[in-house]
Structure 1
Amino acid sequence: MSGSGEPNGAADDTTPNGPEGALPEELFAKGTEWLRGGGEAADVVLSSRARIARNLAGQLFVHRAAPTDLRLVLEACRDVLTAANLGTQSTWVNLHESPAFERSLLLERHLVSAHFAKGKLGTDRKSNDWPRAVAFGLPDERCAVMVNEEDHLRLQVIRSGLALRDAWAEADAIDDRIESGLDYAFSPRLGYLTACPTNVGTGVRFSVMLHLPGLRMAGEIDKVKHAAADMSLAVRGFYGEGSEAFGDFYQLSNQTTLGKSEEQLLGELNDKILPEVIEYERQSRQRLLEKRRWQLEDTVHRAIGVLRHARLLGVEETMKLISVVRLGVCLEVCSGLDTAGLHRLMLLVQPTHLQQAVGKSLGQDERKRERARVVRERFAAM
């Protein structure tokens, strides 16, 4: 049975033919940093992200501002961000001038949030026309800044594996460079001022993308979610807030920043919580090996068989199958495959990247056929 689910923000009625030069060719030349597959605890942690929310002094918050005000924010930020050394090459994209297809590409690459891509902000700005942009660095897309999202600036740095401290160090340095050219909204009593009260203070949020098939197979994933909620942590899906957990991939992040320093927030997640979650997942995987090895191997090799031979594949089913195979690779119950190749495939099978690869707009049934064909070809080459 082929799954039919598409991730939030997927472009169903869009075309790969956007404005010439809107997205650079380098965007597709290499894989993104978050799919590289290396780093500490890479068997469980796909990537680590440090995100900083900032607003400009003297400007209304995005949800209160008029389009003319938001254009002024874009003008104030553009030169500063392109000079902030986000990568070897910096790129600026005006999302309010971009077609849905390009916005969805950026979403699938985790460069923008879902509501930012879809053009929806709260209840009073539902159209796509509010002035907003994203700046990001190439070639690895490790650093990105959304302008006029929930806050005037949303800076993120992503590193492969468990590397929160490295991500934070780089984000902090970039934030300093940006602040040297912009006047941030800051209160001596509260700290950095943000649109959402939970971000007031440091304005910093740390998150990791986790692969937790062992806990899910053991029926323990809900316990992890409840424990996270008790510790004021958020558990979200593959595309962050409002998305689903495709293929046992979950985003875990802190929720509140007021009253805590960046080091306190980082220490709680990186040094206390994550080691336990990683250990629980590894223990669950080990129990599968010890007590259900034949069932595990059968599940993994069945998944490989479907991916090698299926003629119709939905994105949700494909992500679940890749998740199972990734577990098999990490536990060494299958050979000839590697996590980096599986990670690249995870991006390629997303609806908009699939259409980009084939060079034309596809209906849902056509996407299933093309996705299966692309997966067969990639598996044959692995």
Structure 2
Amino acid sequence: MQLADLVNRTSEWLKSTGPNSDIVISSRIRLARNLDKVPFPHWANKKQSENVLLSVEEAVAKTAELKNTTTFRLMDLDSIDKQFLIERHMMSLELAQKSDHKAVVIDEEETIAIMINEEDHIRMQVMQSGLNLFEAWNIINKIDSALSKELSFAFLADLGYLTACPTNAGTGMRGSVMLHLPALVMTNQINRVLAAIAKLSFNTRGLYGEGTQAHGNFFQVSNQVSLGHSEEEIIENINGLIRQIVEQENQARQALLSENRLLLEDRVNRSFALLKSAHIISSQETIDLLSMVRLGCDLEMIKNIGRKTLNELFILIQPAHLQKIENKKLSSNERDFKRAELIRKKLAI
């Protein structure tokens, strides 16, 4: 598999086939693991880091659950390739910072991704469409069990899995759910909801996770601590919270329909019209407009376009994707032109 092959594919988690996929874009389970008796990546020397990379690559090659994966060493990728993988949620900004002795393993459906030598020696993740954390957990648990037969992980009976950041110790698990919450934003309820989430010891981040702001009414909610809880308990807690948020978003949508339907229809249709007619458009404006169109699709105000197409567009209009599609570097102005061209083509009815 080549990176170029991914440009024209829809990631499995974007297909809008999972539970509550009108509001819940995706669910992700991530596990942090470190090799026993080897310093964490930030403290390891070059030889130790290279040995970790070789050991994990060898273990991946022996693992049946990972037979349909490809390993990309970051030294072999240029800046656009790295940004492309970040935009597809296959690797983090942190992994891209330095390329030495680092790699990412990706399966053909982009359900599975394993980062090597990020903050921890191994950061593996499984993503699923909709509210589907338990399915993601079932998949990643099998991968983790298989890798543990090939690698010795750092583990203490009283602390669980040892991680570079103490908040990840224990299960080493982070569950996160990406939500689209335009109605809560439009009805000025979002700050109250975010404050309640924080009080319950959950994190809220933007579209691209840690260190990013919420744009396009997208929010990622995840657990803060994994120590002292089983994986199933963590997932149950996240699911319970997400169901409450989904219910509040649905109530806000119904309130908009009953109290401000004309205003809502106007915003949705104006957004759709702008996307279909613009010849120059920035990524930020596109995300905001697509958010309104997606809401209109969910509420059946727009019936000629599917949620899957809109989900794809949120990724395809990003800078690295436009440059991969064109197979060349583009200036900011060129990207704004190509973005508008792509959107008009995708939304042509």
Q: How would you bin the TM-score normalised by the shorter chain?
A: over 0.9
Q: Tell me which residue corresponds to 1:247.
A: 216
Cα deviation 1:124-164 (Å, max 9, x = unaligned): xxxx24311111111x1101100001000001000001100
Contact 1:86 1:137 in 2 (8 A): no
The TM-score normalised by the length of structure 1 is 0.89
Q: Does 1:49 align with 2:19?
A: no
Q: Tell me which residue corresponds to 2:153.
A: 184
Q: Distance in 1 between matches of 2:120 and 2:332?
A: 35
Cα shift at 1:336:
0.4
Q: Distance in 2 between matches of 1:88 and 1:283?
A: 44
Contact 1:86 1:136 in 2 (8 A): no
Cα shift at 1:324:
0.3
Cα deviation 1:227-286 (Å, max 9, x = unaligned): 11111111001010011222111110001011111111111111x211100000000011
Q: Distance in 2 between matches of 1:86 and 1:359?
A: 32
Q: Tell me which residue corresponds to 2:175.
A: 206
Q: Tell me which residue corresponds to 1:263.
A: 232
Q: Distance in 2 between matches of 1:82 and 1:287?
A: 53
The TM-score normalised by the length of structure 2 is 0.97
2:163 to 177, 194, 201: 194
**Structure 1 residues 24 and 351, CA gap change in structure 2 (3 angstroms):** closer
Contact 1:326 1:342 in 2 (8 A): yes
Identify unmatched segments of 5+ residues in structure 2. none
Q: Tell me which residue corresponds to 1:6.
A: none
Deviates more, 1:74-83 or 1:169-178: 74-83
1:110 to 89, 108, 113: 89
2:77 to 69, 75, 98: 98
Contact 1:192 1:202 in 2 (8 A): yes
Cα shift at 1:29:
4.0
Q: Does 1:167 align with 2:146?
A: no
Instruction: Kindly report which structure 2 residues correspond to 1:119-198, keeping only aligned pairs within 5 A, or say none.
Output: 119=97, 128-138=98-108, 140-198=109-167
The secondary structure found in structure 1 opposite 2:347 is: helix
Q: Tell me which residue corresponds to 1:8.
A: none
Q: Tell me which residue corresponds to 1:30.
A: 9
1:281 to 245, 249, 257: 249
Contact 2:34 2:154 in 1 (8 A): yes
Q: Distance in 2 between matches of 1:240 and 1:84?
A: 28
Q: Tell me which residue corresponds to 1:17.
A: none
Contact 2:13 2:128 in 1 (8 A): yes
Q: Distance in 2 between matches of 1:156 and 1:190?
A: 22
Cα shift at 1:346:
1.3
Contact 2:315 2:321 in 1 (8 A): yes
Cα shift at 1:34:
2.0
2:279 to 305, 308, 311: 311
Q: Does 1:342 align with 2:321?
A: no
Deviates more, 1:52-61 or 1:351-360: 351-360
> Could you tell me which amino acid in structure 1 is paired with residue 19 of structure 2?
E
Q: Distance in 2 between matches of 1:82 and 1:142?
A: 18
Which structure has more RCO (C-alpha within 8 Å, separation ≥ 6)? 1
Cα shift at 1:359:
2.1
